[in-house]
Chains A and B, each alone.
Chain A
Amino acid sequence: MKHKGTVLLLFSLGMLLLSFSTSHLAVKERRENLGISYSLDIDSFSAGLMKVFAGEFKGLLADYLVLEAGAFIGGNEYLSEEQWEKVALAFEQSLRLDPYFQQTYLQVQGDLTWWGEMPEKAISLLDISRKHRPWDWYPGYYMGFDHYYFLKDYARASEVFLDTAKIKGAPVLLAVLGGRLAVKGGRTEAAIVLLESMLGDPELQEADKKEIKERMVALQGVLVLENAVKKYKDHRGAYPPSLETLVDEGLLHQLPENPYADHFFFNHEDGHVSFDEVG
């Protein structure tokens, strides 16, 4: 009887060891694939509802969401459109919980635009950071870049760049860039007004002042030429063949000086005037 009991126990042990080995291998195999099948458990809670659940620990939850989204992107070789939507949601929830966090907007810019191909979404999220971090010029800079590079919306890019350039400590390059895009986006006059107001800043360095003044001269030249070209077209029904025609026709006494080149650039097919060749 005792012998029978021992045999039964040994048999059970053997079966259990077999079951353990099989399941252990299965778990191991599945865990090895963890990186590829790593999932992002972001539920479609509205950001307001997330706040309710997070209570006073909303900052911590915001950190966790950013970390989770970053790990998810890094742990997957390819993300579907639906998965990118989830990542965007995680960033949005994080920004609603803590709209100040620098890491969130940097990841939004780095991931959502280049890899997720969601520049519009990135811009809307960057705007949250821009509004909450009035001392930081980076969110505005990225927004302007996204408008320019991904959406080809030069007018909006120029507007954002010029607005961001007003932030203390922002590089003067933003104003210069905003001015250049203003020409492309048909906002030359607005850019001149903004640059003029920037010149009034007593803390502006001499070198920056010089750069802004040069850009203003260039933009004023563009504006004068644009107005003359418009007058010519209104009169003749077509664009002039060259800028010199404007002087020949008496619309201008002389062509304005371009601080960046020996002349302004003109496309007689669409009437576009610019101070550099790239236009």
Chain B
Amino acid sequence: MHKILLIAWVTFKDSIRNKALYGIFFFGLVLFAANIIITAMFSWELGKVAVDVGLSVVSFAGLVIIFFLSINLVSNDLDRKTIYLILSRPVGKLQYILGKYTGLGLILLLSSSVLGACAALSVEMATHNVKGYVPMHFSWPTFFLGLTFLTLSLLVVLAIALLWVTVTTHPFTALLLSLFSYFIGQNVETVKSIIITSQMYAENPMLTRVVEYASWIFPNLAAFDLKTTAAYGLSVDAGYLMWVAAYGFSYIGVCLVMSILIFQRRQLA
């Protein structure tokens, strides 16, 4: 456990030193300033627009961190053979994977916390003088619930990205596969419902089966998306949230175990 935390801490420090991270944070802050301008373009339910923009920026920044920072960080370890420096010490591959994931996960948590706070601030600023234009049921607990599940979905994407890195070891291929998985994960539910309800695909059971299999392989990221719920303060079932959380953590667990298994079989020399 100590070694995992040590690698996590090193990864965290390594990421913090990365200038790209500052670029991402700066971009996020600029967008929050833009949130006030964008919101002013609307006439009704300005609060909804502010939450939409705010949480989307948190999500977008998190995805940029995963796709352009995290994947590179781990792939470079393998690609540039710097991993030998770590593995030559008494550190196992299991500890390496778990440590990397924890470190990068901490970066995501930091990003979501900082940008989430900025998002909340920008929502407050954008709607401060127009309280009548905030959706009737909007509440801050629901907003932060949306932020929490958004972060969980980012952690799921990070786990799947780490899995692809261990499978391919090449940063660009891992990036493509991760983007592909993210896209499918976001849409598999919608595509499935289109195929089931559309007459066009009624006579193509093969397609239905393929989508069904995909829904088991790729994470259903739409389930974590509570942005609309947060924007309008819609009621959400506690049981549903618990199941979604369990689903997310299980998926992360499965990805990490698979990453460890693949990584352990990999010949690094």
Chain A residues near B187: list those with CB within 8 A.
51-52, 55
The stretch that binds A, out of B8-16, B86-94, B114-122, B220-228, is B220-228
The stretch that binds A, out of B19-27, B38-46, B103-111, B259-267, is B38-46
Contacting pair B190 A60 (CB below 8 A): no
Chain A residues near B48: list those with CB within 8 A.
59, 100-102
Contacting pair A55 B42 (CB below 8 A): no
How big is the A interface, by class?
A: 20 to 34
Contacting pair A52 B190 (CB below 8 A): yes
Residue in B53, B60, B186, B194 whose beta carbon sits within 8 Å of that of A48 in the complex: B194
Chain B residues near A136: list those with CB within 8 A.
136
Contacting pair B45 A51 (CB below 8 A): no
For chain A, residues 88 to 112, give those with C-beta under 8 angstroms from any C-beta of chain B. 98, 100-103, 106
Contacting pair B44 A100 (CB below 8 A): no
Closest chain-B Cβ to A207's Cβ sits at a distance in Å of 24
Q: For the complex, what is the distance from the CA of A272 to the CA of B155, rounded to whole Å?
A: 68
* A-B contacts, CB under 8 A, total: 66
Known: A59-B227, A60-B56. A103 touches B186 (CB 8 A): no
Contacting pair A103 B43 (CB below 8 A): yes
Closest chain-A Cβ to B233's Cβ sits at a distance in Å of 10
Contacting pair B44 A106 (CB below 8 A): yes
Q: Is A198 an interface residue, CB under 8 A from the partner?
A: no
Q: For the complex, what is the distance from the CA of A275 to the CA of B56, rounded to whole Å?
A: 55
Contacting pair A60 B53 (CB below 8 A): yes
Contacting pair B56 A59 (CB below 8 A): yes
Contacting pair B44 A103 (CB below 8 A): yes
Contacting pair A55 B56 (CB below 8 A): no
Known: A51-B190, A60-B52, A60-B56. A103 touches B45 (CB 8 A): yes
Chain B residues near A48: list those with CB within 8 A.
190, 193-194
Q: Is B180 an interface residue, CB under 8 A from the partner?
A: no
Residue in B45, B49, B183 whose beta carbon sits within 8 Å of that of A55 in the complex: B183
Contacting pair B45 A102 (CB below 8 A): yes
Q: Is B96 an interface residue, CB under 8 A from the partner?
A: no
For chain B, residues 177 to 230, give those with C-beta under 8 angstroms from any C-beta of chain A. 183, 186-187, 190-191, 193-194, 221-222, 225, 227-228
Residue in A60, A100, A106 whose beta carbon sits within 8 Å of that of B232 in the complex: A100
Q: For the complex, what is the distance from the CA of A102 to the CA of B193, rounded to whole Å?
A: 26
Q: 1/0 per position for A40-68, CB-CB distance to B under 8 A? A: 00000000110110011111100100110
Chain B residues near A59: list those with CB within 8 A.
48, 52, 56, 227-228, 231
Chain A residues near B56: list those with CB within 8 A.
56-57, 59-60
Minimum CB distance partner of B191 in chain A:
A52
Chain B residues near A114: list those with CB within 8 A.
none
Minimum CB distance partner of A51 in chain B:
B190
Contacting pair B228 A98 (CB below 8 A): yes
Q: For the complex, what is the distance from the CA of A48 to the CA of B232, rounded to whole Å?
A: 22
Contacting pair B228 A135 (CB below 8 A): no
For chain B, residues 35 to 89, give those with C-beta under 8 angstroms from any C-beta of chain A. 38, 41-45, 48-49, 52-53, 56, 59-60
Q: Is B128 an interface residue, CB under 8 A from the partner?
A: no
Chain B residues near A100: list those with CB within 8 A.
48, 135, 228, 231-232, 234
Known: A67-B42, A101-B48. A56 touches B227 (CB 8 A): yes
Chain A residues near B53: list those with CB within 8 A.
60, 63
Q: For the complex, what is the distance from the CA of A56 to the CA of B227, rounded to whole Å?
A: 8
Contacting pair A56 B45 (CB below 8 A): no
Minimum CB distance partner of A55 in chain B:
B186
Closest chain-B Cβ to A82's Cβ sits at a distance in Å of 26
CB-defined A-B contacts under 8 Å, sample of 9: A56-B221, A56-B225, A59-B228, A63-B53, A98-B228, A102-B48, A103-B42, A106-B43, A135-B137
Knowing that A57-B59, A57-B60 touch, tell me 5 more A-B residue pairs with CB under 8 angstroms.
Answer: A55-B221, A56-B186, A59-B52, A60-B53, A66-B42
* B→A interface (CB under 8 Å): 38, 41-45, 48-49, 52-53, 56, 59-60, 135-137, 153, 183, 186-187, 190-191, 193-194, 221-222, 225, 227-228, 231-232, 234
